[in-house]
């Protein structure tokens, strides 16, 4: 995946073709990078377990194979100058899209098996266990948002004749795919975009464990973070807040609302979520014990005169 991300980067530089409003090599580049991060993170998580290793090995290899099949199809369609997702233009294109859909279902199921292994695995550090389990479960929810994109849109249903339609499904809500979009991400600036909660949710797999790693790295400098219970409480708060963010971005996208143009309801919900996370962090810090400082003390022997006393420093 990492090597083909480099190939896709070259494609972005030398191939000026545009497909559905975006450089044609942008999609495989983003997918290759995402799959590389996804695979490395799952491999690290499986390495933390001592139970069900053989099942985890099989599930991990299923993730690899299905991911490779999906990327072969996406890259092949780019070479042909065709869209890979939602394409029902010809029987061949529709068959490729069906195969992609099946690989995604199998990949999701394999990740669910890994999640179940991680839920049952005995992990010594409770904060690590919470970060790993919370990250993989939220990632499963984020991946499941992709199934919403495969459904015919309201506009496609209203037009009828889905059996003969060239395109079935979309990632945009309320506007056609390929319209005005944000730089780099390509997310719609005029309507909702289900790729946002899909992206945010799937990358909980990396971001929540990375938050814990940051706490551990800061512990030598910040004494309070050396407390394992405090780290556990902070990870719990961040996990809950992250789940709320996935729910919020999904709700916003389904209402056909661009990420960068939230309405009052979205702003209020975001404010409530932010306040809840801030309150959770404050409560976690408030209940954490203060670090104990050890100061030098002088001890004088009582058997000798004070003028001749021997001083010991503890």
- Supply the DSSP symbol for 181: B
pLDDT, averaged across the chain: 90
Per-residue pLDDT at 314 exceeds 80? no
The band of 50, judged by pLDDT with boundaries at 50, 70 and 90, is confident
* The pairing of beta strand 172-173 with beta strand 22-23: unpaired
The band of 288, judged by pLDDT with boundaries at 50, 70 and 90, is low
Q: What is the mean pLDDT of residues 248-253?
A: 98
Q: What is the mean pLDDT of residues 70-83?
A: 96
Compute φ and ψ for 102, nearest 5 degrees.
-65, -40
Run of H or E residues at 136: helix 126-149
The band of 289, judged by pLDDT with boundaries at 50, 70 and 90, is low
Among 55-64, 108-117, 216-225, 295-304, where is mean pLDDT lowest?
A: 295-304
Q: What is the mean pLDDT of residues 277-298?
A: 74
Q: What is the DSSP string of 243-299?
A: HHHHHHHHHHHHTT--TTS--HHHHHHHHHHHHHHHHHHHHHHHHSPPPPPP---EE
Q: Give the C-alpha distances (Å, rounded to integers) separating 291 from 60, 86, 235.
A: 42, 57, 20
Per-residue pLDDT at 69 exceeds 90? yes
- Give the model's pLDDT for residue 124: 77
Tell me the whole-structure pTM to 2 decimals. 0.87
- Give the model's pLDDT for residue 311: 40
Q: How far apart are CA 138 and CA 203, in angstroms?
A: 9
Which positions ≥6 away from 246 have C-beta within 8 Å? Answer: 138, 141, 142, 197, 200, 201, 204
- Give the model's pLDDT for residue 123: 81
Per-residue pLDDT at 294 exceeds 70? no
CB half-sphere exposure, 263, CA atoms < 13 A: 10
- 53 or 161: which leads in pLDDT: 53
What angle, rounded to 10 degrees, do the helices at 228-254 and 264-287 form? Answer: 170
Percent of the residues in the chain that have a pLDDT greater than 90, as a whole number: 80
- Give the model's pLDDT for residue 291: 62
What are residue 50's DSSP bridge partners?
none
Residue with tokens 């890259």: 75
Q: How far apart are CA 101 and CA 300, in angstroms?
A: 79
The band of 159, judged by pLDDT with boundaries at 50, 70 and 90, is confident
- Give the model's pLDDT for residue 303: 46
Structure tokens at 3: 């090597």
Q: What is the mean pLDDT of residues 23-29?
A: 96
Q: What is the mean pLDDT of residues 89-112?
A: 95
CA angle 158, 164, 167 (to 5 degrees): 70
Q: How far apart are CA 149 and CA 66, in angstroms?
A: 19
- Give the model's pLDDT for residue 287: 80
* Strand, helix or coil for residue 312: strand
- 254 or 301: which leads in pLDDT: 254
- Give the model's pLDDT for residue 120: 87
Per-residue pLDDT at 305 exceeds 80? no
Q: What is the CA 3 to chain-centroid distance, rounded?
A: 22
């Amino acid at each position: 995946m990492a090597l083909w991300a480099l190939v896709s980067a070259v494609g972005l530089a030398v191939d000026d073709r545009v497909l559905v409003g975006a450089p044609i090599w942008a999609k495989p580049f983003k997918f290759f990078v995402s799959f590389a991060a996804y695979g490395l993170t799952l491999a690290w998580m499986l390495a933390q377990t001592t139970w069900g290793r053989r099942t985890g090995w099989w599930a991990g290899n299923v993730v690899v194979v299905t991911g490779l099949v999906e990327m072969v199809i996406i890259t092949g369609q780019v070479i042909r100058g065709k869209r890979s997702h939602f394409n029902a233009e010809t029987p061949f294109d529709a068959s490729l899209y069906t195969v992609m859909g099946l690989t995604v279902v199998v990949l999701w199921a394999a990740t669910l098996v890994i999640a179940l292994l991680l839920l049952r695995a005995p992990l010594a550090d409770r904060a690590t266990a919470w970060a790993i389990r919370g990250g993989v479960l939220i990632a499963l929810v984020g991946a499941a948002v992709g199934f919403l994109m495969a459904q015919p849109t309201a506009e496609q249903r209203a037009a009828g004749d889905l059996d003969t339609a060239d395109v079935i499904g979309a990632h945009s809500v309320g506007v056609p795919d390929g319209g005005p979009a944000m730089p780099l991400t390509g997310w719609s600036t005029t309507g909702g975009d289900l790729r946002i909660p899909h992206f945010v949710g799937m990358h909980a797999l990396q971001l929540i464990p990375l938050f814990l790693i940051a706490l551990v790295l800061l512990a030598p400098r910040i004494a309070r973070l050396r407390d394992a219970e405090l780290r556990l409480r902070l990870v719990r708060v961040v996990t809950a807040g992250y789940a709320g963010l996935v729910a919020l971005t999904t709700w916003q996208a389904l209402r056909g609302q661009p990420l960068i143009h939230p309405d009052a309801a979205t702003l209020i919900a975001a404010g409530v979520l932010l306040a809840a996370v801030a309150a959770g962090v404050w409560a976690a810090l408030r209940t954490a014990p203060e670090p104990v400082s050890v100061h030098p003390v002088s001890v004088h022997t009582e058997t000798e005169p004070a003028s001749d006393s021997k001083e010991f420093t503890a």
